[in-house]
Amino acid sequence: MQAYEQYVDISNEVQEALDQGKPVVALESTIISHGMPYPKNVETALTVEEIVREGGATPATIAIVQGRLKVGLTDEEIDMLGKAGQDVVKTSRRDIPFVIANQLDGATTVASTMIIAYLAGIRIFATGGIGGVHRGAERSFDISADLEELGRTDVAVVCAGIKSILDIPLTLEYLETKGVPVVGYQTEELPAFYTRKSGHGVDYTVETPEALAAALKAKWDLGLHGGVVVANPVPKAFEMDFDTINNAIERALEEADRLGITGKESTPFLLAKVKELTGGDSLRSNIELVYNNARLAARLAVACAQ
């Protein structure tokens, strides 16, 4: 028994799939507690799980419940996180031991979901968008722990690119330094969360999940540790107008600066403010891109299992 196993509870469904070498997709929980209002957050989380199942994989939503690292939540646990909202501890790498020691409930970010997924033996993870270098980071040094985790943990993160509230060029530079490939799925241009375009290219383009699975196998077989960003553009039908979303982001950033909102509170505040400024359009776009990422992650997990 590994020392970490005393802290981890894997659901029967997920453990059975892992034991049989079947495809499994990790899902985060910050999007439930901090990303959307109740009950839309719970509805979205349960729908994402169903999409993964329809794609031939087993969903493993990850969170910390009363100090236990949970890999595969019950519907009741998802509902609890959704109702509790921002009262749940937003948990990144640095927070995990303290949430465990104090037997708290924790919603896992991209970074902490990657850690727990890796401990459980899961290599494919679907989320909305990754964190990165915040705008003005040359003054604030506000850089998401997601980037550090991508540099060290062997998990592929299927996302709609880098959140457009961030400094995309600096985030790409940081990922390059860490040796993290940014792979566009059927696109040569990096998507920017709400939009399919950002004005920046990707490192590599893949046309099929099978081609990407082969690259992941080669990377990890060679001991080239670290994650991969799989950038999957939001479906065209749910893409937001580039100018509209960027004007809303600029206004949200100005308000965050005026209110002195920094650190891990920045992203939830900015996403909520952008939703308000766009009349809810950004939330609809956010939900649909998460669904789209879950579909691709399931296909990728199936390809990796084969």
Residues recognised as catalytic:
28, 163
Please, which residues bridge with residue 70 across strands?
9, 63
Number of other residues whose CB lies within 10 A of the CB of residue 16? 12
Name 229's Cβ contacts closer than 8 Å, sequence gap at least 6. 130, 150, 157, 159, 175, 180, 181, 182, 183
Q: Quick check: 252 and 273 in contact, CB under 8 A? A: yes
- Asked whether the beta carbons of 234 and 260 are under 8 A apart, the reply is no
The CB density around residue 285, as the number of other CB atoms within 10 Å, is: 23
Residue 60, both tokens: 């493993």
270 token code pair? 């900015």
Residue 37: how many CB atoms within 10 A of its CB? 11
Which of 1, 2, 59, 5 is closest to 32 using CA atoms?
59
The distance of Cα 186 from the centroid of its chain, to the nearest Å, equals 20
Ramachandran bin of 223, using left for φ above 0, alpha for ψ from -120 to 50, beta for the remaining angles: left
Bridge partner residues of 206 (DSSP): 185
- 3-class SS shares of the chain: helix, strand, coil, % to 5: 50, 20, 30
